[in-house]
Structure 1
Amino acid sequence: MATFKKKPAGWQVQIAIKGTREAKTFSTKAEATSWAAERETEIRKQHVTGVDLSKTVGDAFDRYAAEVSIRKKKPPTWERNRLNAYRSHGRTAIRSATNTASQQGPMLPF
């Protein structure tokens, strides 16, 4: 829910949804209302789906290498090389895999 306050610099809007708090000041109340509605929708979608749209596959690779790969019994060299290969060829490989998957239908979970 958004809260609006008239300030000397303009209209301040504060939103607090599911642990996320943000505030911003605008020159008009209409701008503040518009921003609050858009931002609330973005936050709710992110929390409902559990997907952070700002994260990339490369971020997932980095996190995996830092948190999982280093704890394995085998040296993480092979996995690090594989992740680097995915990263360097990733755009082409991911794009072609996505096209192939969309042509074949939905993928089944593991």
Structure 2
Amino acid sequence: MTDIELADAIQSVRDQLIEAATRSAGRPVVFEVGDIQMEFTIELRKEVKAGAKVKAWVVEAGADGTRTTGQTHKVAFTLKPTNAATGGPWKVGNEDLGSTDGFGAGPGE
């Protein structure tokens, strides 16, 4: 099992939202990102070598049947992404402008 820090898991979602927004720059259609609900099973560990810092590690579901509920915790939270420059809602889009060709046409038309 590869350990993933909770902060890295959240950063991955943030990076992918930024990538989606970057791809939509200058496009006529964008989508407002609504609330993002995230839920993880985590294991808290104290790292002595890092100055006794406690870190939360995401645990893969079913990865280790020997873990007990005393060692793992469920964390759930909702993120509401906003545009840091405007304070408004975060928007993403798609590079492909798409087409309405064949929209509403029946089979074989």
More strand by proportion, 1 or 2? 2
Q: Same fold (TM over 0.5)?
A: no
TM-score range, shorter chain: under 0.3
- Give the TM-score normalised by the residue count of structure 2: 0.25
